[in-house]
Amino acid sequence: MKNLTSWAMENVKRQKTESGKKIIIAGPCSAESPEQLLETANALVLNGNVDYFRAGLWKPRTLPGSFEGVGVEGLKWLRMVREETGMKVATEVGSEKHVAEALKYDVDLLWIGARTVSNPFVVQEIAESLRGVNIPVLVKNPLNPDVELWFGAINRFLKLGLKDVGAIHRGFSIWGKSIYRNPPIWKIPQLLKERIPGIMMINDPSHISGKRSLVPLISRKALENGADGLMIEVHPDPKKAMSDAAQQVTPGGFFDIIRSLNLEKTSYNGTNESSVDELSSEMDMVDDLLIHTIANRMDLSRQIARVNSPGQLTTARGAKWEQTLKRLLGMATEDGLRPDFIHRLFNEIQKESCHIQSSCSGIVEK
């Protein structure tokens, strides 16, 4: 893999301008009708910050029967948007057939979706269909937090001679509850940047958040973490959107986000009032998550009690618990938490687990 890294480093073209202008991509999750596209684009063009107007035409959906995009028809609408507003247009491609269609309509930028990136054969086919074509390509992270798979997908394009290849960080699928739709795991884009220094990293706060209330906060966090731009989903009437209704913002909401980010500045002090509000609402969500996590743990204790034979108690105690605590305290220290605090917290949690197991299996605790 070492060769690939140095190859990528030599060939990646940094798209950021000298002034550090952030690349902004905005538009609906899906193209739904020519009217919806034009209404969004006419509103967005008023904000001089938008570099590319986005709209998905081919939508890889989780469930069959969901709206899977308008397909080729939408390419005419994208062309109309470009002609009427002068904005460059971008769409997602998931096959070599999509690439061929998009190129016929001179789409200005293509991105590869997270589901597609997870399939190296398809990525290779798409890359080969772009051989010799001078078009920017952005590669989303795969669904799973696998930096090598992401790195590999980007390299498939670089190796075929494409120069404008960047990355989009859209978060990762996990099992279980989270305040995010796709937790960002900020370490992963960081690792990719270490693998390919100079790679352009666009953040997609919409797919990370899954809900519009969280989009401003993630956008700010992304810029603080060094993102080179943002891709934000915007719909004129988000609640009626045919895909990703909960996370799209209105053009007005988008303007507010861009204004609050103060894009000319390169760093944020996070001390203004709205930032404190946003941070405390994120803290509320983390508190909710803590409750769900503790409830999950107690539920596991209940399940163990059911599986155990009557009178048996499996909750770790004594030497086994000391060992577990040691591991947890090591992790806590790495994360900058005070060991004493974590020690007390986990002893309380463990006491409750013992209590639950005892009551479930009829043991009376001493």
Residue of 25, 244, 261, 315 that binds Mn ion (CB under 5 A): 244
Write each residue from 7 to 46 as x if it is in contact with Mn ion (CB under 5 A), else as -, in one continuous string: ----------------------x-----------------
Which listed range, 34-42, 109-117, 145-153, 221-229, lies at the site for ligand PEP (CB under 6 A)?
A: 109-117
All residues at 6 or more sequence positions from 95 whose CB lies less than 8 Å from its CB, including other chains: 58, 122, 125, 126
Least Å from the CB of residue 115 to ligand PEP: 6
In this complex, which beta carbon is closest to ligand PEP, that of residue 248 or of residue 315?
Answer: 248
Q: Which does 205 bind (CB under 5 to 8 A by kind): Mn ion, ligand PEP, none?
A: none
> Of 136, 57, 42, which Cα lies nearest the Cα of 87?
42
Least Å from the CB of residue 230 to ligand PEP: 13
CA 106, 110, 116, 121 dihedral sign is positive
- Cα-based torsion angle of the residue sequence 342, 343, 344, 346 in order, rounded to the nearest 10 degrees: 80
Instruction: Classify the phi-psi angles of 52: left when phi > 0, otherwise alpha if psi is within -120 to 50, otherwise beta.
Output: beta
Least Å from the CB of residue 173 to ligand PEP: 9
Footprint of ligand PEP on 41-70 (CB under 6 A): 56
Distances in Å between the Cα of 252 and the Cα atoms of 20, 46, 365 are 25, 11, 59
> Of 94, 95, 54, 88, which Cα lies nearest the Cα of 74?
54
Q: Which does 215 bind (CB under 5 to 8 A by kind): Mn ion, ligand PEP, none?
A: none
In this complex, which beta carbon is closest to ligand PEP, that of residue 114 or of residue 127?
Answer: 114
Residue of 27, 69, 74, 113 that binds ligand PEP (CB under 6 A): 113
State which residue has the least CB distance to ligand PEP. Answer: 113
All residues at 6 or more sequence positions from 82 whose CB lies less than 8 Å from its CB, including other chains: 53, 88, 89, 108
Which listed range, 32-40, 112-120, 318-326, 358-366, lies at the site for ligand PEP (CB under 6 A)?
A: 112-120
Residue of 26, 29, 107, 126 that binds ligand PEP (CB under 6 A): 29
Are the beta carbons of 78 and 121 closer than 8 angstroms? no
Least Å from the CB of residue 60 to ligand PEP: 7
Phi, psi for residue 12 in degrees, rounded to 5 = -65, 135
How many chain residues touch ligand PEP (CB under 6 A)? 9
In this complex, which beta carbon is closest to Mn ion, that of residue 31 or of residue 158?
Answer: 31
Residue of 110, 114, 199, 222 that binds ligand PEP (CB under 6 A): 114
Are the beta carbons of 165 and 154 closer than 8 angstroms? yes
d(CA 202, CA 169): 6
Token pair 């956008």 is at which residue? 219
d(CA 47, CA 1): 42
Binding-site ranges for ligand PEP (CB under 6 A) = 29, 56, 92, 113-115, 140, 170, 207
